Amino acid sequence: MTPLRCTYAGYQEGCTVVDPVTWHVKTIAGFHLWTLLEPIPNHPFESTVAESTIREAGFEPVEQKEEPC
């Protein structure tokens, strides 16, 4: 996979939802979020995306620490 400069934006907790019509229970897994420091297909610079989006595009997130002003 190609390295991609990003900053780690946090973790979105998963949740459980119930369909109000069928009463089926669905669990949505949590996921890591990254802010892009360079664009990838369909996502411009500074977009915040799920780690799976980065990997599905063929990239590996590499954390870049923000420089103090």
pLDDT number for residue 68: 61
Residue 36 lies in a domain: no
Residue 69 lies in a domain: no
- Into how many domains does the chain fold? 1
Residue 17 lies in a domain: yes
pLDDT tens-digit readout, 6-25: 999 999 999 999 999 999 99
Region 31-53 average pLDDT: 98
Whole-angstrom Cα Rg for the chain: 15
Query: Model pTM?
Result: 0.82
Domain limits for position 11: 2-31+41-63
Residue 18 lies in a domain: yes
Region 37-57 average pLDDT: 97
Number of neighbours of residue 48 by Cβ within 10 angstroms: 14
Burial track 9-34 (b if 16+ CB lie within 10 A, e otherwise): eeeeeeeeeeeeeeeeeeeeeeeebb
Binning pLDDT at 50, 70 and 90, where does residue 65 land? confident
